[in-house]
Chain A
Amino acid sequence: MLKSFARASLLAAALSLPLSFSAHAEEKTDFKVCWSIYVGWMPWGYLQDSGIMKKWADKYDISVEIVQINDYVESINQYTAGEYDGCSMTNMDALSIPAGGGVDTTALIVGDYSNGNDGIILKDKTDLAEIKGQTVNLVELSVSHYLLARALDSVGLSERDLTVVNTSDADMIAAYATPEVTSVVTWNPLLSEIEAQPNATKVFDSSGIPGEIIDVMMVNTETLADNPNFGKALVGAWYELMGIMSTDSDEGVAARTAMAEASGTDLAGYDAQLATTKMFYTPTDAVEFTKSAELPSTMKFVAEFLFDKGILGEGAPSPEFVGVAFADGSVYGDQNNVKLRFDPSFMAMAAEGAL
C-alpha cells in the first residue's frame, strides 16, 4: 500500500518536471520583456503601442512582446523565474534579485539615473539632521532605503539613530496624512504629491547622490549571447524613440503626452518628473556613463548596502559574493561568480548607427 503510494508520488513528481525546466538558452525568435510604471520606463509601453518595437523586431525577423506588469517587484520576480527575457529595473534590484539568485544578467540599455526623483521628506522640520530619533516610513530594502542610508552617511548618522517602518508605496500618501508619520522616503510621483503638502520639506533627494540609482533594461545574458538580434532590436527601437521624445516636435509632444496619460498624469506633470530624471537620450551618453569610473564605486556602495541588510542571499560571506563585470572587463567581487554585467556594446552599435 505504502509502496504503491511511493510509486504514485514519484509519478506525480515526474509529471511536474516539465514545469521546472525553464527556457534553456538557445536560438529562438519570440521574446518577451516586462516593465512597470516609472517615469524612465514609460517609453517601453509606448514602444509597444506605437509599433516602433514591431518595426525593429521585423527588421531582425523576430518578435518582441513588451508587457506591462503592475507591481514592480513582481515584474523582477517574474524575470528571475525565467518568464521574461528582459525586464526594466534598478541596478540595486538587479544585483539583489536576479544576480543574487544566480540568473546571469546583462545591463543592455542604461536608460537614466534618478536625479531628484527619490527623496526624503520631513514633516514640520527642515534639516536632514533632525531625522535623528524619528520613525521613518519607507519601502524597506528598496532604493528608498538605500537613499536613506546614503543620506544618513552624509550627516554622520546611521540607521541605529532612527526607526524604519516598512510601508507599502501604495499607502504612502495616506500614511503621510496620519499624525504619527513624521518622515517618509519615497519616489515620484508620490514624492511630489507629498512635497506639495504645506508642512512637508524635502531635506534630501537623489540629486545628492547622482548616478547611483540607475534604471536599466536588464536582459538574460545567455539569451542575449545566443540571440544578438534580440539585443539589437531592443536597442534600435529604444533610441529611435529617445530621439523622438527628446524633441518638442509634434511627434515628440504626442509621445510624451501618451506616456504621461499612461502613468496617470498630464504632459506638464510628466515633464516635471523627467526634469528630475537624468535621461540618456543618446546612446553616446549612455555608453559614456556605463564606461565611467564612478560606476564601479557605485556598485560597491550598493553591494555593501545589500550585504549589510542581509539581502545577498544565504551563505553570502561578504559583499563581494556576487561578481559585477564592467565595460573595461574589470570585475567587482567574485571573479568566478559574475552574474551582473554592464556591457555597452549594443548601445555602442546604436551610437555608431550600425543597427
Chain B
Amino acid sequence: MRIINRRPSRLPALALGLVPFIATLLVYAVASHYRRLENPADKLLPSLDSMGQAFWRMAAVPDRRSGDLLLWVDTFDSLWRLGSGMAVSTLLALVLGISIGFIPHIRSALAPYIATFSLIPPITILPILFITFGLGEVSKIALIVIGTAPIMVRSTAQAVLDIPREMIIKAETLGASVWQMVTRLVLPQVLPKLITALRLGLVPAWIFLISAEAIASTTGLGYRIFLVRRYLAMDVILPYVVWITLLAFLLDRLLLLLSRRAFRWNHLGSEAL
C-alpha cells in the first residue's frame, strides 16, 4: 500500500505526536548538560530540574514580599485582560461584521475604513493609547482590541457575504424582515465562522497582551517574563513560555470543541487541524 494511504491507528498516532516534543526536550537536556559542565551556575540553559523547581516556587511558594502565589496571580490577571479584550473584539466582530456584510450602505461607509484601520501596526499607536487611556488596564485591553477586532470584523463580514444569495432571496420571498433574516439566517451561518475568527484572533491577542504587560505593569505573565529578563532568569522564563503555550493551546482546543458541539453540521466536511 502506498504511504499516503496508510494511516496510524490511535496509539501509534499519539506516540508519533509525542516524538518531536521528546526530541526537543532531549536536545535541550543534552545542550544544557554540556553548558553546565563548564559553568554549573549557567543561566542561559538551566537544567530541567532547576526549571521545575523555579516553576514550583512560582506556583506554590508565597512571594517573600507580597505573600501571593505569583504564577496564579499572573495567570489570572493575564487571562482576565485577554478575556476582556477578546470579548470586546468578538462583540465588535459580530455587530459590525453582520452590518457590513449584510447592509450595503453600512458596507460602503465602513468597509474601506476598517480595512485601512486593520493595517495600522497596533504597537505603533501604543504611546497614544497611554496618553488617552492611561497606563492601567484600559490601555492594555484597548491594545488587544485594536490588534484583533479589525481582522475579526473583516472575516465575519466576508462570511456573511459568502452566504449563498439564493438563501437570502428565498427568505425574502417567504416574507422575512431584515431582523428575521439576521437572527434566523445570517447568525446561525456566521457563528461557527466567528469562532474560527476568534481562534485565529487569539494568536495576535497573546502577542499584544505580552507586549502591553512588558511596558507598564505590576502583574501578568508578560510582566513576569520581562521583569526576570533583567537578571537572565531563564529558569523562570522558559517554564513561563511553556505555561503560556499550554494556556493558549487549551483555549484553542476548548473553542474548537465548542464549535464542534454547537455547530456539528459545520464540521462534517474535510478533516481540520
Interface residues of A (CB under 8 A from B): 2, 5, 8-10, 12-14, 16-17, 19-22, 24, 73, 76-77, 80-81, 93, 96-97, 100-103, 137, 139-142, 159-160, 163-168, 171, 174-175, 177-181, 308-311, 313-314
One of B43-51, B161-169, B241-249 at the interface: B43-51
- CB interface residues, B 164-183, toward A, < 8 Å: none
- Inter-subunit contact A13/B39 (CB<8 Å): no
Tell me, rounded to whole Å, the shortest Cβ–Cβ distance linking A237 to chain B.
29
Within the assembled complex, what's the spacing in Å between the Cα atoms of A171 and B126? 10
Within the assembled complex, what's the spacing in Å between the Cα atoms of A225 and B111? 67
Tell me, rounded to whole Å, the shortest Cβ–Cβ distance linking B81 to chain A.
15
- Inter-subunit contact A5/B231 (CB<8 Å): no
- Inter-subunit contact A166/B216 (CB<8 Å): yes
**Is B76 on the interface with A (CB-CB < 8 A)?**
no
Within the assembled complex, what's the spacing in Å between the Cα atoms of A20 and B19? 23
Q: A9-B23, A19-B31, A77-B232 in contact; A164/B43 too (CB < 8 A)?
A: no
Total inter-chain residue pairs, C-beta < 8 Å: 128
Chain B residues closer than 8 Å to A8, beta-carbon distance? 23
Q: A141-B231, A171-B215 in contact; A17/B134 too (CB < 8 A)?
A: no
Tell me, rounded to whole Å, the shortest Cβ–Cβ distance linking A52 to chain B.
32
Tell me, rounded to whole Å, the shortest Cβ–Cβ distance linking A112 to chain B.
22
- Inter-subunit contact A181/B135 (CB<8 Å): yes
Size category of the B interface is 35 or more
Q: A9-B22, A311-B231 in contact; A171/B216 too (CB < 8 A)?
A: yes
Chain A residues closer than 8 Å to B204, beta-carbon distance? none
Chain A residues closer than 8 Å to B233, beta-carbon distance? 313
- Inter-subunit contact A9/B31 (CB<8 Å): no
21 sampled A-B residue pairs with Cβ under 8 A: A2-B19, A9-B22, A10-B26, A10-B30, A13-B31, A21-B34, A24-B38, A102-B42, A137-B135, A140-B227, A140-B230, A141-B227, A142-B230, A166-B217, A166-B226, A166-B227, A167-B216, A168-B215, A175-B130, A178-B130, A178-B131
- Inter-subunit contact B134/A313 (CB<8 Å): no
Q: Which of B27, B42, B134, B214 is A178 in contact with, Cβ under 8 Å?
A: B134
**Is B240 on the interface with A (CB-CB < 8 A)?**
no
Tell me, rounded to whole Å, the shortest Cβ–Cβ distance linking B137 to chain A.
11
- Inter-subunit contact A171/B130 (CB<8 Å): yes
- Inter-subunit contact B45/A180 (CB<8 Å): no
Tell me, rounded to whole Å, the shortest Cβ–Cβ distance linking B129 to chain A.
10
Chain B residues closer than 8 Å to A17, beta-carbon distance? 30-31, 34
**Is B64 on the interface with A (CB-CB < 8 A)?**
yes
Q: Which of A14, A100, A139, A174 is B231 in contact with, Cβ under 8 Å?
A: A100
Q: A9-B26, A10-B26, A171-B215 in contact; A73/B131 too (CB < 8 A)?
A: no
Within the assembled complex, what's the spacing in Å between the Cα atoms of A180 and B135? 8
Chain A residues closer than 8 Å to B218, beta-carbon distance? 163-166
Tell me, rounded to whole Å, the shortest Cβ–Cβ distance linking A29 to chain B.
22
Tell me, rounded to whole Å, the shortest Cβ–Cβ distance linking B63 to chain A.
8
Within the assembled complex, what's the spacing in Å between the Cα atoms of A81 and B39? 11
- Inter-subunit contact B136/A180 (CB<8 Å): yes
Chain B residues closer than 8 Å to A308, beta-carbon distance? 64
- Inter-subunit contact A20/B135 (CB<8 Å): no
Within the assembled complex, what's the spacing in Å between the Cα atoms of A5 and B136? 49
**Is B254 on the interface with A (CB-CB < 8 A)?**
no
Q: Which of A16, A102, A137 is B41 in contact with, Cβ under 8 Å?
A: A102
Q: Which of A80, A81, A174 is B127 in contact with, Cβ under 8 Å?
A: A174
- Inter-subunit contact B232/A101 (CB<8 Å): yes
Tell me, rounded to whole Å, the shortest Cβ–Cβ distance linking B74 to chain A.
12
- Inter-subunit contact A175/B44 (CB<8 Å): no
Chain B residues closer than 8 Å to A180, beta-carbon distance? 134-136
Chain A residues closer than 8 Å to B102, beta-carbon distance? none
Q: A166-B216, A166-B217 in contact; A314/B235 too (CB < 8 A)?
A: yes
Within the assembled complex, what's the spacing in Å between the Cα atoms of A334 and B54? 23
**Is B107 on the interface with A (CB-CB < 8 A)?**
no
Tell me, rounded to whole Å, the shortest Cβ–Cβ distance linking A293 to chain B.
28
Q: A97-B231, A181-B135 are in contact. List 8 more A-B contacts (CB 8 A).
A: A9-B26, A12-B23, A16-B30, A21-B34, A100-B43, A137-B135, A164-B218, A313-B43
Chain A residues closer than 8 Å to B45, beta-carbon distance? 20
Within the assembled complex, what's the spacing in Å between the Cα atoms of A9 and B23? 5
